[in-house]
Amino acid sequence: MGVPTFSVRFESQDDFLVEYTDRLRHGRALLPLGKPLPPGTPVRLKVELPDRSVLYLLGSAIAPARRERSTSGATPVRLAMTEDQRAQLEACVQALMRTDEPTPADGGTPVPDAEDDPTGMSVLLVDDSVSMRIELGDALRERGLRVRVAENGLVALSAALKRPPDVILTDVEMPEMDGWTFVRTVRSRPSLTAIPIVFLTRLSDDLSRLKGYRLGVDDYLPKTMAPEEIIARIQGVLARRQQVVASGDGTNSNAGGGLRGRLEHVRLGSLLAFLESERRSGALHLTRGTDTATLHLASGTLEYVEGLGRYDHQHDRVFELLSWTQGEFALVPDAPLPKQTNEQPATPLTYLLMEHARREDEAKASGAV
């Protein structure tokens, strides 16, 4: 009698990613059979991959692990894979990590995160440092949060697909899949796109932080921040997300040309330089406490300023805004220009940035005399 062959299919690309992360990359598989096979039984698997290629794998049944015993009739299999077969699996995974095109929605409803306390905030903590996962994870649990941990972006993606958390708290520099790739991949999944992502990192330069905001990061926290402050900040991130989604103002994410972030992380000057270089159009909303202003942009030039405050000229208001070191920004792409813009000449952003720098230099020189 020959070796029995079993076909293995995946209902979606994300199902394959979960199975690869949980088992296939470790040389294991799980066959959902009506009756488990005895340990040692040789098997042959015909695995149909999401890229439409087929992989034939040999293996043998093994005794189920404790966490697999609850799966009725399932047979765990230890696989004997060649290097070429491993490379084929990894190539398929890497192809699914490319986010040039959005992953089609599977049509299913995400399974809510359900752990011991269903009322607590659920956090997925991603960091390659074991000590960081243990220390911060325990600190957050002691304060009532439900915490799952992952050592890299690939494992975190699998965990989020199985049980979407309320918020993802992730490091940037990690093996296998770094924070940048992880954010892009999460934002390309329809079932995960609305989950807030907070970078836990030492990144301090404007360009790196602006890159994160462009990809869809909601906030940045230093790794040295106290657990109480971390909880307060992620609660604030969740509240802002819910408020923006409820308002339907088009800035619920940084996808589709939108951009949202904090001026503590990206200075307004760096943001304006970026918007000019990419010839962006839209309404840039700036908020600091009760003080608000909106810069209306067209192809990277300033067309009009709403909310002049105590100033009569819009340039003077922009110079004041450029001095802000705290606050929030949100770009609504392609927002219609107010009618008043017909009366105002467009101003290159480079001129405003250079003039602001000149005025600052003069103020420093006069103060030093």
161, part of any domain = yes
Q: Is the pLDDT at 239 greater than 80, yes or no?
A: yes
Closest C-alpha among 182, 196, 111, 120 to residue 151: 182
Residues 235 and 133 in one domain: yes
Range of the domain at 224: 122-242
Cα 41 from Cα 39, distance rounded (Å): 6
Residues 164 and 219 in one domain: yes
Q: Is the pLDDT at 57 greater than 60, yes or no?
A: yes
> Looking at residue 194, which CATH number applies to its domain?
3.40.50.2300
Domain end residue (candidates: 63, 97, 131)? 97
Cα 349 from Cα 346, distance rounded (Å): 9
Residues 132 and 204 in one domain: yes
pLDDT tens-digit map of 305-335: 999 999 999 999 999 999 999 999 999 888 8
> Looking at residue 66, which CATH number applies to its domain?
2.40.10
**Domains held by the chain: number:** 3
pLDDT level of residue 259 (50, 70, 90 thresholds)? confident
Cα 138 from Cα 119, distance rounded (Å): 18
57, part of any domain = yes
φ, ψ (nearest 5 deg) of residue 59: -170, -170
What value does the mean pLDDT take over residues 251-256? 49
Cα 42 from Cα 61, distance rounded (Å): 6
104, part of any domain = no
Cα 94 from Cα 201, distance rounded (Å): 25
Cα 57 from Cα 315, distance rounded (Å): 68
102, part of any domain = no
Residues 236 and 167 in one domain: yes
Average pLDDT, the chain: 83
Residues 362 and 272 in one domain: yes
108, part of any domain = no
Residues 278 and 233 in one domain: no
Residues 127 and 43 in one domain: no
Residues 130 and 207 in one domain: yes
Cα 74 from Cα 294, distance rounded (Å): 59
Tokens of 46: 């015909």
145, part of any domain = yes
Amino acid at 98: R
Residues 137 and 179 in one domain: yes
Contact 219, 237 (CB under 8 A): yes
Highest mean pLDDT among 281-295, 331-345, 348-362: 281-295
Cα 315 from Cα 318, distance rounded (Å): 5
Closest C-alpha among 146, 179, 178 to residue 165: 146
Residues 60 and 129 in one domain: no
Cα 192 from Cα 182, distance rounded (Å): 12
pLDDT tens-digit map of 207-224: 778 888 888 888 888 888
Tokens of 349: 């952003």
Contact 44, 54 (CB under 8 A): no
209, part of any domain = yes
**Which secondary-structure segment (H or E) carries 260?**
strand 259-262
Write the CB contacts of 288 (distance below 8 Å, at least 6 apart in sequence). 263, 324, 326, 327, 328
What value does the mean pLDDT take over residues 228-241? 87
Taking the alpha carbons at both ends of the chain, their separation in whole angstroms is 97
Rg (the chain; Cα; Å): 26
Write the CB contacts of 266 (distance below 8 Å, at least 6 apart in sequence). 206, 209, 210, 213, 329
Contact 163, 114 (CB under 8 A): yes
Cα 268 from Cα 321, distance rounded (Å): 8
Residues 236 and 282 in one domain: no
Residues 14 and 66 in one domain: yes
Cα 259 from Cα 214, distance rounded (Å): 6
pLDDT level of residue 117 (50, 70, 90 thresholds)? very low
Q: What pTM did the predictor assign?
A: 0.68
Residue 195 CA: distances (Å) to CA of 160, 172, 226 = 10, 17, 23
Residue 302 CA: distances (Å) to CA of 45, 223, 279, 310, 319 = 61, 37, 11, 19, 13
pLDDT level of residue 287 (50, 70, 90 thresholds)? very high
Contact 332, 283 (CB under 8 A): yes
Domain end residue (candidates: 242, 258, 288)? 242
Helix-strand-coil percent breakdown of the chain, rounded to 5? 40, 25, 40
Cα 117 from Cα 107, distance rounded (Å): 28
115, part of any domain = no
pLDDT level of residue 254 (50, 70, 90 thresholds)? low
pLDDT level of residue 109 (50, 70, 90 thresholds)? very low
What value does the mean pLDDT take over residues 36-49? 91
